[in-house]
Amino acid sequence: MSSNGYSKVATWVDDGDAFEMLVRISLTNSQTANGDAFRTIHHKPVDPDTLSLAITHELRKGRTWQSMGAGVPDVPDSVTWRNGWDRAKYERLQEFSQDWHLNDLRAGCAHQTVVYETDRFGRSVPSLSKTEECPLTGYRYGQAWLVAKLPEEVVHELYELGAVRTEKDWTERKLA
């Protein structure tokens, strides 16, 4: 793992160009975990020990970045896996990214079915006006950030994949 928390997971060559994929799996105390001010997707107060997950990547071509950002994109079939990674682990990380990335920034509660609409750019986006209110509390979709608590088994598996625990100032701290 590098000093910035990124781990090289795969390399490959495409049309003579060398590529490398790096990922960072960060768990930090949720910015929203400060008592009654924030709620879970089940409308309960947020625990102070609630963790927030951020999964980011860097894709490099030679010495230049091709992309950086949230989540982990697909990689070609012909990659060479590095640092203990393999396709199964990478696909599991993609699942975690899809399901849990930024788990403390959910716009809807567990009781809502999100309705999508097409925006002015032709993209399918969640509708703030068409998604019905929560039948239990009247919560309107998008009126606040809600927290989806990470299950313990997910946290454990993330550490097995190489997650680093960071403090709010984003300094790394190794856990036993």
Helix (H) or strand (E) holding 96: helix 87-100
pLDDT of the chain, 176 residues: tens digit per residue: 444 578 899 999 988 889 999 999 989 887 654 545 678 999 998 887 888 899 999 999 988 888 888 889 999 999 999 999 999 999 999 999 999 999 989 999 999 999 999 999 999 999 999 999 999 999 999 999 899 999 999 999 999 988 887 655 444 444 43
Among candidate residues 71, 34, 25, 56, the one with its CA nearest the CA of residue 147: 34
Pairing verdict, β 35-40 and 146-147: parallel
Q: Give the burial class of 44: count Cβ atoms within 10 A of its Cβ; 0-12 exposed, 13-18 middle, 19 or more buried.
A: exposed
Structural domain boundaries in the chain: 7-33+50-103+151-170
Tokens of 103: 């788990």
Place of tokens 């640092």: 83
The DSSP letter of residue 43 is S
The DSSP letter of residue 115 is -
